[in-house]
Amino acid sequence: MSRVRELVQAAQFGASDPQRLQRVTTLHPRHVGYHLHAARILGWLDRQDDAIQVSAEGATLLATAAGSDAERELFRAGIARSEAIAAIAPELLDETEPDADVLCQRIQDAAGIAPATARRRASTLLRWRAQALPPARPRPVPRPIAATLRSIVTDTLRIGRVEVERYGLLRAVKVDLDESAVFVGGNASGKSTFLDIFGFLTDALAGDVRSAIQARARRFEELLWFGEGEAFAFAIEFLLPASLRGEFDRARYELEVGHLEDAPGVGVRRESLYLCPPGEEAEEIVQQAAPRKWRKLLGVAGNGQARYGSEDGTRKSTAQIGVEQLALGRLPDEPDRFPVGQRVLGFLAHGVRRIALDPKAMARPCAFDAPSRLASDGANLAAVVHALVSADVGRASEWMAHVREALPGVEEARVESVDGRLELLVGFRGGHEVPARRLSHGMLRVLGVTLVPFVAEPDAMYLVEEPENGVHPRAIEAVCQALAWSPENQILVATHSPVWLAVAPFDRLFCVVREAGAARVMPAAALECLEDWDREVDLPTLFAAGLLG
**Residue 323 near residue 304, CB atoms below 8 Å:** yes
Which helix (H) or strand (E) element contains residue 456? none
Q: How many domains does the chain have?
A: 3
Q: 3-class SS at 515? A: strand
Calpha distance 421→57 (Å, rounded): 70
Q: Kindly state whether residues 282 and 419 are assigned to the same domain.
A: no
Calpha distance 516→6 (Å, rounded): 5
pLDDT tens, residue by residue, 48-88: 777 888 888 888 887 887 667 888 888 889 889 988 888 88
The 3 state secondary structure assigned to 168-212 is: CCEEEEEEECCCCEEEECCCCCCHHHHHHHHHHHHHHHHCCHHHH
Q: Kindly state whether residues 522 and 422 are assigned to the same domain.
A: yes
pLDDT for residue 306: 95
Question: Residue 499 sits in a domain of what CATH number?
Answer: 3.40.50.300
Mean pLDDT across 502-524: 83
**Does the structure show a pLDDT above 70 at 458?**
yes
pLDDT for residue 375: 95
Q: What letter would DSSP give residue 219?
A: S
pLDDT for residue 28: 54
pLDDT tens, residue by residue, 116-162: 777 778 878 887 888 788 754 333 333 333 334 344 346 889 999 99
pTM higher than 0.85, yes or no? no
Q: Kindly state whether residues 61 and 120 are assigned to the same domain.
A: yes
pLDDT for residue 347: 96
Calpha distance 475→449 (Å, rounded): 12
Q: Does residue 137 sit within a domain? A: no
**Does the structure show a pLDDT above 80 at 377?**
yes
Q: Tell me the Ramachandran region of residue 227: left when phi exceeds 0, alpha when psi lies from -120 to 50, beta otherwise.
A: left
Q: Kindly state whether residues 102 and 162 are assigned to the same domain.
A: no
pLDDT tens, residue by residue, 527-548: 654 544 444 444 444 444 445 5
Q: Kindly state whether residues 84 and 123 are assigned to the same domain.
A: yes
Give the number of other CB atoms < 10 A from CB of residue 75.
23
pLDDT for residue 150: 43
pLDDT for residue 146: 36
Q: Does residue 193 sit within a domain? A: no
Q: Kindly state whether residues 45 and 101 are assigned to the same domain.
A: yes
Give the number of other CB atoms < 10 A from CB of residue 144.
10
Q: Does residue 190 sit within a domain? A: no
Confidence of residue 114 (pLDDT cuts 50, 70, 90): confident
Strands of 317-320's sheet, edge to edge? 170-176, 158-167, 231-239, 250-259, 266-276, 295-300, 305-308, 317-320
Q: Kindly state whether residues 225 and 278 are assigned to the same domain.
A: yes
Calpha distance 123→109 (Å, rounded): 16
Q: Kindly state whether residues 458 and 480 are assigned to the same domain.
A: yes
Q: Kindly state whether residues 339 and 391 are assigned to the same domain.
A: no
Domain that holds residue 123: 2-132
**Does the structure show a pLDDT above 60 at 10?**
yes
pLDDT for residue 545: 47
pLDDT tens, residue by residue, 176-188: 987 789 998 888 8
Rg (CA), the chain: 26
Calpha distance 143→126 (Å, rounded): 32
Q: Kindly state whether residues 96 and 9 are assigned to the same domain.
A: yes
Calpha distance 251→207 (Å, rounded): 23
**For the CA atoms of 212, 214, 220, 224, what is the dihedral angle to 10 degrees?**
-60
Q: Kindly state whether residues 318 and 397 are assigned to the same domain.
A: no
Q: Kindly state whether residues 21 and 100 are assigned to the same domain.
A: yes
